[in-house]
Chain A
Amino acid sequence: MTAVGTPAAARTRTDRTEHTAPGDRTDRPRRIRLPRRPRAREIVVTLVLIPVCLVWLYPFVWMVSASLKTDDEIFGSTSLLPEEFQWDNYSRAWYEANIGPYFWNTLIVTVATVAIVTVTTAMIGYVLGRYPFPGKKLVIVCLVGTLFLPEGYTIIPVFELVNQLGLSGSLAGIVLAESGGAHVIIILLFAGYFRQLPKELEEAARIDGAGFLRTFWTVMLPLAKPAVATAVILTLMRVWNSFLIPLVLTLARPDLRTLAVGVYSFEGQNLTDWSGLAAASTISLLPIVLVFLVLQRYFIEGVAGAVRG
């Protein structure tokens, strides 16, 4: 489908550029009228979209700008450029508002959850995608059944279970609760990806004397890199931004808060330190925004691929 679609799209593009080439224009000014219309359209569309984009970006720009101003300046002036850069807002947020510890908590929870989710979903996706076995349909039906389960529906038992497991005073409880959601989309993505790998790979691995585990780990998993990347990105995005689970599980232990919970609580406790709050928000959002900008192609393709799969 795409193989056929892409050349067709490429062809139209070349046609268009030929018509609007500058050389063309000087030679035969009258005949280009019609083909030139897309160019005018492009300018109009761009001019309309740029202000909309600025609206989309403004909250982030304002947040960074406010994090470098004094409190008086934040609400006193509409200029985005601070008179003098107040870097101590950041040290105040990091040390006094505990954003530093929250940052490390978030990092630990995110890395651990991403590792657990990626490995376990790859494993279950592998066998669901490649092997027939009794009970397979049941497993798939159960998983798909949880697709739209609201988080608020299960939070009370999750809270109770973590307490009963004796994990309420540790980050491990948050990691397990975040890893324990049914990751249906990622599992189906892996299943679909593994399904299309050729059967001969397994046979070759078997002849070379590799066992089931070894075949999976050294032959199959490395071949599934695009699926692994998507799983990592989707999980990373979800866990770094997660709010309800860490909020509820750290009620009794404020020192275990993640950034989302920490900044939220900071707002509640300290209604006057606007610049500190802006700095804390910037510290919290910067890592995920940077990851997004570096991997943005995979981010968007990952989300799109997960939908298509």
Chain B
Amino acid sequence: MSAFTQTSALVRDGTGGGSLRQRIWQARWCYLFMAPSLVLALLFTFYPLASSWYISFLEWSGLDSERKFVGLDNYREVVEDPYFWAAFGRTFAFAAAAVPVMLVLALVIAIVVNDQALRLRTVFRTVFFLPVVTTTAIVGVVLSMILNPFDGPLNAFLLDLGLIDAPVDFLGDPDLAMWSVAGVFVWKWMGISMIYWLVALQTVPQDVYEAARVDGAGRWHTHRHITLPLIAPFGVIISLIAFVGALQTFPLMQAMTQGGPAFSTELVEVYIYRLAFAAEHQPRLGYASAVAVVFGVTVLALTLLQAWGIRRLHVTRRDAKDAADAREPEEAS
């Protein structure tokens, strides 16, 4: 019997049957098919995952092979490092500022371009999605030219309108730089949240809207009392995807400010990069790894929160469906 016949027997029977060894042997094609992906993932995802823990216990410059095992010293230093905590706080502040603005804007635009009666809706969707597909680092470079205080087009425009008296140094002012990048972040990534919201909106059954219209509900009320509650569970996931994404803004920040001026935009990833690869002095791969592990564990904790959110989604949607099913006979009559 050929290997394939055995494997397709697996398909027909469901379980395969026989001892574990037999079942493994029968499914050998399956393992062979997974091998390339798993080897690549093992090398470049799982090994680095474990290795970054190991490296975080070393004092290692990366320049030579000299590695000194220093135990928890790096972690002790992380805890006492004001630059790290400043970067850590800034990273979350950045996400907390940019994400709500982006999500609300994306939701409003999604509701508008979801309207079948709007003739230009495809054009609008394309335009809003365009920044999403472009190279973040290059877009960052272009935007820093546009925000240039010396006659950059944005300053020239604002001066012409009389909105400002003197040019604003959007990226050079420590109090302003991070919020300028946050604005660019919203511009860059709003389109993807818009698409997620559109997916959510398309799960809302059309007849609910028709029923609301018959009952005389206005647009505002329809969205307030029907659309929002029905897509709220999706909102949990969409917000978390956006939030976790906003914690990882390395390309944009590096291209626009490189953490400056005066460290005012140094987010955790920019800090890790500076410690490990762009150090003015000796690179510190071990210490940078400890910073990365602390940050990674925090983000992973958020991922667990996301898993919890997804479970809630399923429960809420099932309840909503049950409620809808219970209502249906009334509406039919």
Using a CB–CB distance below 8 Å, which chain A residues touch chain B? Answer: 1, 5, 8-9, 12-13, 16, 38, 41-42, 45-46, 49, 52-53, 55-60, 62-63, 66, 75-76, 78, 116, 119-121, 123-124, 126-128, 130-134, 139, 142-143, 146-161, 176-177, 179-183, 187, 199, 202-203, 206, 210-213, 215-216, 237, 240-241, 243-244, 248, 251, 259-261, 263-264, 267, 274, 277-278, 281, 284-285, 288-289, 292-293, 296, 299-300, 303-304, 307-308
Contact = CB atoms under 8 A, between A and B. Distances in A.
B282 interface: no
A133 B302 contact: no
A146 B49 CA distance: 10
B41 A143 contact: yes
A127 B30 contact: yes
Interface string B201-218: 011011100100000000
A137 B23 CA distance: 15
Given A123-B36, A152-B292, A131 B11 contact: yes
A279 to B, nearest CB: 11
B33 A152 contact: no
Interface of B: 2-5, 7-8, 10-12, 14-16, 20, 23-24, 27, 29-31, 33-34, 36-38, 40-41, 43-49, 51-52, 55, 62, 109, 112-113, 115-120, 123-131, 133-146, 148, 150-153, 156-157, 160, 187, 192, 195-196, 198-199, 202-203, 205-207, 210, 244, 247-248, 250-251, 254-255, 268-269, 272-273, 276-277, 285, 288-289, 292-293, 295-296, 299-300, 302-303, 306
Nearest to B31: A133
A153 B134 contact: no
Contacts of A264: 137-138, 140-141, 254-255
B139 A243 contact: no
Nearest to A295: B133
A273 to B, nearest CB: 11
A176 B11 contact: no
A289 B29 contact: no
Contacts of A203: 8
Nearest to A236: B133
